[in-house]
Structure 1
Amino acid sequence: MIKNYLTLAWRNLKKSKVFSFINIMGLTVGLTASFLIFVYVCFELSYDAFHAKADRTYRLVADIKTPTETINANGPSWAVPPNVIDEFGEVEAFVRFTRADFVVKRDEVQFQEDECAFADSVFLSVFDFPLLEGDAKTALKEPFSMVLSESSAKKYFGSDNAVGQTLHVGQEQLPVTVTGIMKDMPENTRLKADMVVSMTTLTQKLNAGLDEQWGNYGSEAYLLLRAGTQADGLQAKFPDFLEKRNGSEMKQSQMFVTLFLEPIKEVYLYSTRDGSNVGNINNVYIFSIVAVFILLIAAFNFINLTTARSAERAKEVGIRKVVGAAKPQLIKQFLGDSILLCLIAFVFALGFTFALLPLFNYLAGKQVSMILFANPGYIGILFLAAICVGLLAGIYPALVLSGFRPVAVLKGRFASGTRGIFLRKALVVIQFTISIALIFGTVIVYNQMRYMRNRDLGFDKEQTLVIDTKGSPAKEAFKQALAHIPAVKATALSGSVPGGGNPGAYSEIENSHGDLQIANLDLYFVDFDYLDLYGIDVVAGRGFSRDFATDSTQAMVVNEAAVSLFGYHSPNEAIGKRFKQWGREGTIVGVVKDFHFRGLQGKIKPLTMRIEPGSWNLVSVKLTAGNLPATMAAIEKEWKTAVPNLPFTYFFLDEYFNRQYRSEEQFGRLFVNFAVLAIFISCLGLFGLASYSTAQRVKEIGIRKVLGASIADIVQMLSSDFIKLVLVAIGIALPVAWWAMHRWLTDFAYHINIQWWVFAAAGITAIAIAVLTVSWQAIRAAVANPVDSLRDE
């Protein structure tokens, strides 16, 4: 019997090639889009979930409350983890993980390595990064020991055995011994590194005493809890622990710390402490909903296309019933047709998913692993999803087609009733409601991304080259040498540039009441030329000047946000006020206009600037537009003369700054592409309903033409019903879409306002799409010969 159903289904597919192609294409597109989203969502949810001890591993983070703000740090102070394991038996091990970048040299070969880290000795025991060579328990135990990734080992040592070899690291060219080779870390981990150096190198040799510093923050920390330990119970003990170990220091500094535990499997998607360096669970929810919408649209599209073809199969059903076919048999046959179509679409969708995964990786901005999709369990889930779509999409057409009365259909009267017409129209309304909402969302996402790229940031980032000197003593000589290159307009030295990292500094600044107010403030170390090069406006007082000898030791410049923080009503009131910061004392000499030194996701924070030559490592170079390759060659030549022992590493500030928006831009690209696919499938559904409606009214059209109706009249008659459906969809979609996108925009401190024209654009676009989709069928019916339309068999 099953073989018979499949044979009949296959014959029907071959008989109606165009119908089959359109139906399979709609299902294939819907399934492919959903499969890609499924793989993406699974990948996002898998971050650091592959570790065998992940259920017992937590990141230790801190909230630091000062008199002016609460700082959400992504790690505790350096002294906390060693003291935690001494205090609490519930903690089996701790791992501190500090990201770094090194200049690494072997013989005459050297590279700038950005994916580096320091980690405690149990790093490879707590986390599952398998070693190919070496002992996981001892590889990171001794100072000046290092574990390389497999690709890094090949990069420096080729086919030679790297274990036991020495690399020279940092500007000081410190000899570090390779003690292990690990597999390249997977993409779905936050603890990404190609080189891991023992933490004892940092805490015992490079910065001895770091383990005893309670006020120094700069490392992530992870705790492995013993089996059966409740994280909430341990977290509740932290306040007493901090009071006992560090209470007096907290009171003295007026910086009160609260510790929290974050499950490692939730850090990537749920934590907000790492800025743009993490994922976003809301994006996962959004794409999951989009996947469900696309599957529903594909199913609705299938229903409409199948019922549109019911006119062709009505007589077949009538004849089968006359010769004895029961309704359950017909339902099974039509469900078999539906499932067969879905299985064919499933096979095509698998192929397209594999083929499109590289493009999808480009749009997503990450290498979503093929291994995830090759997992038999995931294939099984996708297969069941396809079967469910087939059943969902086929059940209504099966009931409709199997329910035709033989006497009626054999006379040519095969209408499925008003309830069937209402359902089909309702499906089109739902499809276009989703599509219009996606059109609206696409416009908002695009305009927010454009706004973020083009907004006035308060400084000039164009034509700015930034070169990392790694703090070389020759940095000032190199800066002066660049002044002789004609294409170089200006140069400046600093420790930070907008969009990059900068230290937070424990500060005391005189407030409006005359008291020294404690605050943790962002700090830029700059030179005398920095403000001019970046075009940062001074709104009160003055900038740094070589004419004032004390500027290099006793002067500070702050931004407007800092002025407000300390209670001043105008920038001029802050001039001459006292400050103490990191061992320096002096007065505020100038106030600069607020500029977006951290991007647009958050409000502009208070910022301080000081002259500190020992902390300059970046050279900013303002270039003229012109022959860039020749200019870069001239700059590199000066670099090799001034700093011959370091690689020439640089970036352009506009590109560097815009990297902060990378996750938002990736979200926007994916959202737009999936929205287009959803709209395309909706158009197929509308095409199906137009076909069905035209087939139902073919004799009416013939009679109208005989009575003198023009082609335009016929097209208008057939199109008007669908335009009404789209108008209903617009009325439903736009308020819902406005609410959803308004919520999305609130994640940005600076964002666009939703203008009235966005509503109009979404509505007009939907109507235009509907008219174009329906017009082909309407025109085809309108130009048909009425003699053929009125002829009956």
Structure 2
Amino acid sequence: MFKNYIKIALRNLWRRRGFSLINIIGLAIGMTAGFLILLYVNFERSYDQFHTKKDRIYRIVSDIKTPSDSFDTSLAAWAVAPTLEKQFPEVEAAVRIMNVSMLVRKDDIKFKETTTFAVDSAFFRVFDFKLIQGDPKTVVKSPFSIVLSETAAKKYFGDQNPIGKSLKIMEEGHIATVTGVMEDMPENSHINADIIFSLTTYTQVLEKDSDLDNAWGNYDPASYILVNENTNPDLLQAKFPDFLEKNSGDEMREYKMFVTLFIEPFKDVYLYSTRGGNGSGSITNIYIFSIIAIFILLIASINFINLTTARSVERAKEVGIRKVVGAEKQQLAVQFIGESIIICLIAFLVSILLTTLLLPFFNDMAGKIVSPGIFSTPFHIFTLLLLSLTIGIVAGLYPSFVLSSFKPINVLKGNFSTGTKGVLLRKSLVITQFTISIALIIGTIIIYNQMNYMRNQELGFNKEQLLILETNATESQETLAQAIDNLPGVISTSLGSATPGGGNSSAYSEIQNKKGDLQIANLGLYFVDYDYISQFDLKLLAGRGFSKEFASDSTEAMIVNEETIKLLGYNDPNEAIGAKFKQWGREGQIIGVIKDFHYTSLQEAIQPLTMRIELNHYNKLIVKVNAENSTRTIASIEKKWQSILPSAPFDYYFLDEYFDRQYRSEERFGNLFLSFAILAILISCLGLLGLAAYSTLQRRREIGIRKVIGASVSGIVNLLSIDFLKLVFIAFIIASPLAWYAMHQWLQDFAYKIDIQWWVFLLAGSSAVCIALVTVSFHALKASLSNPIKSLRTE
């Protein structure tokens, strides 16, 4: 019997190859999109889940409040982690992690390593980063001990055993000894580095005089603790206020800088923390993609129902004859469900092929290796197979019920009708499809406009043709700047501690406010030279810029931005000129106020910023080059670099490219959203195609009569199209408020964002109408051009 079912099913599928192909393609595309999203979501949710002690690891974070401001940070003071380990029996181990960028050399091999961490000795005992060589208890205990990833070890030592060998690190060329080799850290880890070296290098040698282990006001490393089994994290956190009062209460009151400590579950840091840090994802994006996957699979299932029901007219007589010769309703239902499952299994195989072909492109769009191959995760393939069978059964239930319920007498007389309930269901399904599609169109337009807004936002500074060289505060950087300044193609040079978009230091500051009091605040700080302001075309609103004509500018002068004077209560920038300040051991007065500029990402609001001259704190050389022959100019700059800084690798980037890279994750999100939106719309068109086919089959006699009495082709096309446009209009009414709410929530993550305009909805609705008309027109034209004699012959 089952063999006969399969034979009949395959024969029917082959007889109506067009319908079968549309069904298979729709399901395959839907399952492929769903599978790719499943891989992406699963990868994002897998971050940091491979650590066996993940449930006992927490990150220590801080809220800092001064009389002027408050802010939260992913960091803790240097003294917090080691003191917690000493004073709390619940804390089994503590680890501080400081992200550093340093020069690493071995003979003629030299690299500027940017993925380097300085860590406490418990690092490899707390986290499950596998050591291939070395003792996890002692491998980063001694100063200048260093652990290399397999990739880094091969880069510096080739096939030699690196253990016990030396590398020169930092500008000063300190000798570091390789004490361990670790496996490359997995990509799904928010802690990711190629080189790990001992934090005691700083605390016991380089910064010994700073007594970092007892510094309660210096924030630099990220801090993690491993708690004992059965420790209640809420009870532990409740002890932190007394802990801070005991250890730094007097200091907090003296400086009027009050700290609150919190703990974040380590396994939730990547997706759920709003404080940033080494790496962060977005749980909102995960929810969005998960919903899109559900929508796409739902649309694919709806298509199957509509397309199969559209064929019910053609198979009505087949069902009638089968019932006359004794077929049971249950047998017919099994037959049609079986056909549904066969289509789904074929679509499953096609989706496996499509996923295999598309996965490399998908990894590239996602900007990470979401999966090296679909067969690397057999469980996901099994999930997709189970999903296919479920879709086949669920999507086949309604058509099988309708087809197996036909009354043989009425069918054989030609009085077949599926009734108003069936029509209402099919129209409801199409409305659902286009509600989803229109919402996705609206979302795509808004995301594109937001990205375009961020790219074209007025930044308040010039970022064009600026070449940034990492000098790392070397003693020869001023000599290098002077040498480069004289090269053809170089317009000007400047030195600074940071560039817009590259972050900034935060400094405890006391500045005279409008009332005449010294107001305490944590303010952003740039160390700049005399030409920095003109180099970036920053606009002075009051006072003057730094000048070599005033000797005191190098020690007693400060320039602030608009946000700073607002914080201090000044209404006019000129009122702030001459205000006194104390900052990091320096005292002086404000000599100028500059217009606000975006010195961080556009996702963040502009914060107060101060600028001072500090000759030994520059680590970036900013070179403005002529757009013409820039390649030749860069080559000339490299020659000067090699002659003046021969031990350092020539490392540069253009500021405009660097600034644009800040929005790469948002652009990737937008591109992925657009791709899946297009797939959803494509599958929706297939569903509309199915309903159009069904409608024309149902009304073929009516169309024939209308043509006989003189109806035109355009009149018939309009007649058939108007019903579908009503469905699209209803979908538009439903989709618009839902899409507005969803995108309004998404935009809240941006400090500077677009307003959602009315024309976005009009454009989305018009696009949906055009898509519907193009889709329906195929069957409408086919029906209007057909010979009416054929459709009336059965009357």
Shared fold (TM-score greater than 0.5)? Answer: yes
Query: Residues of 2 paired with 1:154 and 1:54: CA distance?
Result: 30
8 A Cα contact 2:103 2:171, kept in partner? yes
CA distance in 2, matches of 1:636, 1:590: 35
The residue aligned with 1:102 is 102
Residues paired across the two proteins, number: 793
Aligned 8 A contact 1:533 1:622 in 2 = yes
> Is the contact between residue 500 and residue 598 of structure 2 (CA under 8 Å) also seen in structure 1?
yes
The equivalent residue for 1:658 is 660
Which residue pairs with 1:440 in the alignment?
442
Separation (CA, whole Å) in 1 of partners of 2:132 and 2:331: 60
User: What's 2:295 paired with?
Assistant: 293
Q: What secondary structure, in the 3-state scheme, does the structure 2 residue paired with 1:580 have? A: strand
Alignment of 1:771-790 (within 5 A): 771-790=773-792
Q: Structure 1 counterpart of 2:216, which letter?
A: W
Task: Decide which of 374, 379, 382 is 1:380's aligned counterpart.
Answer: 382
Determine the structure 1 residue equivalent to 2:596.
594
1:312 matched residue in structure 2: 314
Match of 1:178 in 2: 178
In structure 2, how many angstroms separate the alpha carbons of the residues matched to 1:55 and 1:483? 55
Instruction: For 1:447 and 1:174, locate their aligned partners in 2 and report how far apart those are by CA, in whole Å.
Output: 50
Could you tell me how far apart the structure 2 residues matched to 1:160 and 1:4 are? Answer: 67
AA paired with 2:91? V
Asked whether the equivalents of residues 63 and 70 of structure 1 are also in contact (C-alpha less than 8 Å), the reply is: yes
Per the alignment, do residues 171 and 275 of structure 1 end up closer, same or farther by CA in structure 2, a change over 3 Å counting? closer
Residue aligning to 2:206? 206
Report the CA distance between 1:277 and its aligned residue.
3.9
The alpha carbon displacement at 1:250 in A equals 0.8
Q: C-alpha separation between the residues in 2 aligned to 1:201 and 1:9?
A: 73
Pairing of 1:552-701 with structure 2 (within 5 A):
552-701=554-703
Aligned to 2:266: 264
Distance 2:462 2:390 in 1: 55
Cα drift, residue 371 of structure 1: 6.9
Give the corresponding residue for 1:59. Answer: 59
C-alpha displacement of 1:613:
0.9
Task: Specify the alignment match of 1:530 in structure 2.
Answer: 532
Question: 2:397: which partner in 1?
Answer: 395
Does the 8 Å CA contact 1:505/1:520 hold for their aligned counterparts?
Answer: yes
- Asked if the contact 2:355–2:374 (Cα under 8 Å) also holds between the matched residues in 1, the reply is no
The Cα shift of 1:386 comes to 2.1
Distance 1:138 1:559 in 2: 48
In structure 1, the residue corresponding to 2:663 is in which secondary structure?
helix
> Where in structure 2 are the equivalents of 1:700-739 lying within 5 Å?
700-739=702-741
Instruction: Find the counterpart in structure 1 of residue 150 from structure 2.
Output: 150
Q: Distance in 2 between matches of 1:374 and 1:327?
A: 44
In structure 1, stretches of 5+ residues that fail to align are none
Q: Specify the alignment match of 2:193 in structure 1.
A: 193
Q: CA deviation at 1:732?
A: 1.0
CA-CA distance at 1:328 after TM superposition: 1.7
Cα shift at 1:276 = 9.3
Task: Give deviations 1:383-416, integer Å, cap 9, x for gaps.
Answer: 2222222222211111111111111222233221
Q: 1:276, 1:661 within 8 Å by CA — same for their partners in 2?
A: no
State the 1:741 CA deviation: 1.2
Could you tell me which runs of 5 or more consecutive residues in structure 2 were left unpaired when the two chains were aligned.
none
- TM-score, normalised with respect to structure 2: 0.98
Label 1:532 to 1:686 Cα distance change in 2 as closer, same or farther (>3 A): same
Identify if the C-alpha distance between structure 1 residues 373 and 89 changes in structure 2 by more than 3 Å, giving closer, same or farther: farther
Moved more, 637-646 or 429-438: 637-646
Once the two structures are TM-superposed, the CA of residue 177 in structure 1 deviates from its matched residue by 1.1
Whole-Å separation in 1 of the counterparts to 2:672 and 2:598: 27
Tell me the secondary structure at the aligned position of residue 662 of structure 2. Answer: helix
Task: Compute the displacement of 1:253 (Å).
Answer: 1.0
Give the equivalent residue in structure 2 for 1:227: 229
Q: Relative to 1, partners in 2 of residues 1:450 and 1:683: Cα closer, same or farther, differing over 3 Å?
A: same
Identity %: 57
Mapped to 1, the partners of 2:553 and 2:5 lie a distance apart of 89
- 2:467 maps to which residue? 465
In the alignment, the residues of structure 1 paired with residue 792 and residue 689 of structure 2 have an alpha-carbon distance, to the nearest angstrom, of 24
- Per the TM alignment, residue 510 of structure 1 is displaced from its structure 2 partner at its CA by 0.5
What is the DSSP-based 3-state SS (H/G/I as helix, E as strand, rest coil) of the residue aligned with 1:147? strand
Find the counterpart in structure 2 of residue 93 from structure 1: 93
Contact 1:43 1:372 in 2 (8 A): no
Match of 2:117 in 1: 117
Which residue in 2 is equivalent to 1:136? 136
The yes-or-no answer on 1:83 pairing with 2:83 is yes
Task: For 2:667, give the aligned amino acid.
Answer: E
Farther off after superposition, 237-246 or 731-740: 731-740
Q: For residue 257 of structure 1, report the CA deviation from its aligned partner.
A: 1.0
Output the CA distance in 1 between the equivalents of 2:376 and 2:185: 19
In structure 1, distance between residues paired with 2:375 and 2:268:
22
Q: Secondary structure at the match of 1:229?
A: coil
What's the offset of the Cα at 1:173? 1.0
Tell whether the 8 Å contact from 2:167 to 2:177 is kept in structure 1 after alignment.
yes
Within 2, Cα distance between the matches of 1:593 and 1:277? 31
SS in structure 2 at match of 1:558: strand
Aligned to 1:479: 481
Given that 1:276 and 1:660 are in contact with CA atoms closer than 8 Å, whether structure 2 keeps it comes out as: no
Q: Deviation at 1:275? A: 6.8
**CA pair 574-372 structure 1, distance change in 2 beyond 3 A:** farther
3-state SS, counterpart of residue 576 of structure 1 = coil
Other-structure match for 1:369: 371
Q: 1:71, CA displacement in angstroms?
A: 2.1
